[in-house]
Amino acid sequence: MGISEKIEKMADEKELQRSHQDIDKLFNSLKNLEVEGMDEILIELKNLKETELYKRLINAFKTENSKQKDRLITSEELSTVPILKLADENLIFGDLLTNVFTASLIFAKLFLSIYSFIEYIYCMTQERPTNWADILNIFFSGLDERIIFALEKFDEVDLEDIPEPTTEYFQMLRKVRWKDKKAKKTYDKLTKLMFEMMYLKLDFPAFKKWPSTYRSTEDLFIRLLSGCSAVNNDRVNIEAEDVVIAYKTFFKLIKTDVTKYKAIPERLYGIEGYNNSLKVGYLVCQKCGGYYQIQPGESPEDFTDECDCGGRFEYRTSLDN
């Protein structure tokens, strides 16, 4: 090892030490903020520090962003997603500049972070890049609405019990601000802690070459969920507790098998050729001839292979013979 490499290695070790110290400091100051539910978040963060989950998630981000896409979802198709349509109609689209000038916390582009995260978790769970059928499940399963309206209870509610997304809801989101310094501090410290966590979990020094896109996507996702938590409670001010709920939702989401949320067939009518892009076919009973048409988002493996009559189902791509 040459001298310059040695120096670099020492610098890395020092950096690692600094990161550990910063994490400890952040844990303490977050505890001292006395926000309801913070204890649970700190436990989740300790787990994150000890497991490989975060690393796997960020690797999935990397996989998804470098994969060959067989088909891109068009902006026309995206506008058939109710949430994205309403966000587009009621919020500023937003980039860094408009954000600075309008001081709007919630802008339309943030909503894309919901689907991005579902996508990364999809990739992480299946240990392969997502395909077109997965993408349709990601955008059209209603998981987006579950997350926005039920937050950390997204997996406990029935889709029918979730309120319809309305213009009023998005108009309120547009007005969302931090309630006070405590709320902003809670957000800032938690995002800083997540940054340090990422730093710690990824291999030194390769991390330095990593794009910052993952970081901003996660931070903006948390901000969006915090805003939704406020508006769900009929407020336009984000309180510290809303940030805690946003993180609770995030931690639960990354541990959930999101592949169980399948595209709702009626929502796919705006997708060109969706029937061909999915494995759609029939399960035909060999005894009574009864059949079931497999819906987009479903798979033959989802069903029992025995018919009510006692006969066996066979998978067919068509009913022709």
Which residues are at the interface with Zn ion (CB under 5 A)?
285, 287-288, 290, 307, 309, 311
Q: Residue type at 317?
A: T
DSSP 30-62: HHHT--TTHHHHHHHHHHHHHSSHHHHHHHHHH
In angstroms, the CA 61 to CA 55 distance is 10
What whole-number distance in Å separates Cα of residue 156 and Cα of residue 131?
Answer: 27
Cα–Cα distances in Å, from 317 out to 85, 264, 293, 302? 34, 21, 10, 16
* Alpha-carbon gap, residue 173 to 169, rounded angstroms: 6
Of residues 7 and 309, the one with the C-beta less far from Zn ion:
309
Name which of 43 and 309 has its Cβ closer to Zn ion. 309
Residue 315 C-beta: closest distance to Zn ion, Å: 15
74/286 with CB nearer Zn ion? 286
Q: Closest separation between CB of residue 313 and Zn ion, Å?
A: 8
Question: Among positive and negative, which fits the CA dihedral 260, 266, 271, 277?
Answer: positive
Min CB(286)–Zn ion separation in Å:
8
**Nearest distance, CB of residue 281 and Zn ion, angstroms:** 17
Least distance to Zn ion, CB of residue 303, Å: 13
- Residue 241 gets the label, from left (phi > 0), alpha (psi -120 to 50) or beta, of alpha
Encoding tokens for residue 311? 């006969």
CB of 314 to Zn ion, least distance (A): 11
83 near 145, Cβ under 8 Å?
yes
Distance separating alpha carbons of residues 123 and 50, to the nearest angstrom? 22
Query: Looking at beta carbons only, is 281 or 296 nearer to Zn ion?
Result: 281
Q: How far is the CB of 280 from Zn ion (least distance, A)?
A: 21
- Nearest Cα to 147, choosing from 138, 155, 158, 135? 155
Q: Which is nearer to Zn ion, 181 or 287 (CB)?
A: 287
Nearer to Zn ion, 32 or 321 (CB): 321
Least separation in angstroms between residue 300's CB and Zn ion is 16
Complex with Zn ion: residue 165 or 311, whichever CB lies closer: 311
Checking 22-30 for CB contacts under 8 A at 24+ apart, the result is 22/196, 23/49, 23/193, 23/196, 23/197, 23/200, 26/189, 26/192, 26/193, 26/196, 27/193, 29/189, 30/186, 30/189, 30/190, 30/193
CB nearer to Zn ion: pick between 204 and 292: 292
